[in-house]
Amino acid sequence: MTSWNAHHALYLKESVRAGSRTDVFDASAASTPETFRLRDPLDEFATTDGVLELVRIEDLGAIARRSCADVVTLRAWAEAVALDRRTNAKATAVESAKLNDRLQIWQGAGGLDNRPVFVGFWESVAEVLETPSVTWANTVRDRLGLSLYDPGSRLRKRIDVVAFRYPARLVQRTSRRGGCLLARPTVLDGGLSTAFCTAPAGCGRGSCLDLSGGGSDTPWQEALHPPLNYTADMVWAVGSITSAVPSTLADARAIHLAAVCDANPDFWALAVETDGDL
């Protein structure tokens, strides 16, 4: 596994994460993620309507670390801004400006690379985030398969997260009138993850693995796109992940595969290849 992980990481460093988050997207640049340079087979989502909305979950602690901010203050600003947005109020111009400053530092001087950004669709996530409950972050973490956000394993009491919600029209396009650079994720687009199952090319969807093993009939869709500039007006909700990642990840993986294979029998061959031993 170490050797496999090392080779995988090498590919990511040289072919997927070679540039900076602030690079202007250029499909022909050598530092552009290969995901978007060789994207012909990955265009399942290229025609996505620009008014559809996407959701991105980010670790507020990591944002604070990279923007030299205090996470408690950052959270307070983000909460105020998010509440404003959900209630259509306009009472937090100062907090919004301060939050925006920090978001710009996080994405610029903070040293983020230009790796593809994994996102969910509002279409799926809305059931939890339309009116976020106190525990929304735990649910969304599980449903989006974000196993890296495990507070206990990281010695954090909780992981504060922020949900950005924004329209797909903001995602870069191959050209002015070209397709939207929204792609089905493959195993080559991010770090090796036990909570990731590649969907076959041409299937028209990317399916998140539900960490809770709930075996939901319809796994949430996931996609990825080149990094874009996140701003305060995209902040929709702030929450805390407090629960541990369920220890039954292998079971969850098997349940997930069974569910997606039931929905699409073409998946069976791939599932047997990747997880036949489970």
Partner 1 sequence: MSLVAEIDEAFAGSPPDWLPAFAHDPVGSLTKLFTEEWFHGHLNAEDPDELLLDWADGFSEIGPAFGEALDGALADWIVMHWDSRSLWHAGSPGVTWHRALRVVALIDHKPAATAVLRERVGEADDVLGPMTRHAARDPLGWYWTVLAVTQGDDESLREKWWSFCNLAPGVAPFHGRIGLLGLRRIAGPDRGRFRESVAAGVLRLACALDQRVQDRALGQREAMQVARTAAVETRAAYPFPEAWAAVWDARADKLEERPREWLAAVFGAPRGDRPRRYAGLSLPKPDPDWFLRAGQIANLLRRHDAEAKKAATALLNEQRYYAERAGDASMLTKTLCQLSSALGPDDQRLAHEWADEAWAWERSNPFTWSTLVIALIAIGDFSTALARAAEGVERFPDDPVIATNLATALRRCGRLDDAGAVLRDAGDRFPSNANANSRELAKLVRAQSEHGVGTDDARDPVELMPGADPPAHESDAARILTEARLLLRLAALRPADERASRLDRAGALADAAVKAHPQDVEALMTEIEVLLDQSKPEDAAKLIASLPGYIAQRPPFQALRASGRLDEVRAAAPVKFEQSILIGIVDPWKQAGSEHAALSAGWPLTQLRATTAMYDGTDLGDAQDEAIRHLVEAISSDADRRAAGSGLPQRNRALRSWWLGEVQRLIPPLKATAGDVATYASLAPLLEEQSERLDAIDRQLIDAARFTA
Smallest CA-to-CA distance from 232 within 176, 142, 162 is with: 162
Which range, of 2-10, 49-57, 86-94, 128-136, touches partner 1 by CB under 8 A? Answer: 2-10
Min dist. Cβ of residue 98 to partner 1 (A): 8
Partner residues linked to 183 by β-bridges: 224
Q: Which stretch binds partner 1 (CB under 8 A): 102-110, 165-173, 202-210, 258-266?
A: 102-110
39, 226 in Cβ contact below 8 A? no
By CB under 8 A, residue 19 contacts partner 1: yes
9 interacts with partner 1 by CB under 8 A? yes
Binding positions for partner 1, 123-162, rule CB under 8 A: 147-148, 150, 152-156
Give the one residue of 60, 63, 128, 195 binding partner 1; rule: CB under 8 A: 195
Q: Which of 63, 249, 244 is nearest to 141 (CA)?
A: 244
Question: Closest distance between partner 1 and the C-beta of residue 49, in Å?
Answer: 29
Stretch binding partner 1 (CB under 8 A), from 32-40, 129-137, 185-193, 218-226? 185-193
| Separation CA 33–CA 183 (nearest Å) | 12
Q: Rounded to the nearest whole angstrom, what is the least distance from the CB of residue 4 to partner 1 in the complex?
A: 8
- CB of 146: closest distance to partner 1 in angstroms? 8
Structural contact between residues 120 and 127, judged by C-beta atoms closer than 8 angstroms: no
Nearer to partner 1, 48 or 147 (CB): 147
The per-residue DSSP string of 137-175 comes to HHHHHHHTT-TT--TGGGT-S-EEEEEEEEEGGGS-BSS
Nearest to 45 by CA among 143, 179, 165: 179
245 near partner 1 (CB under 8 A): yes
Alpha carbon 83 to chain centroid distance?
22
The SS3 of residue 2 is helix
Q: In angstroms, what is the minimal distance from the CB of 5 to partner 1? A: 4
Chain residues in the site for partner 1 (CB under 8 A): 1-6, 9-10, 12-14, 17-24, 61-62, 65, 68, 101, 104-105, 108-114, 147-148, 150, 152-156, 190-196, 245, 249
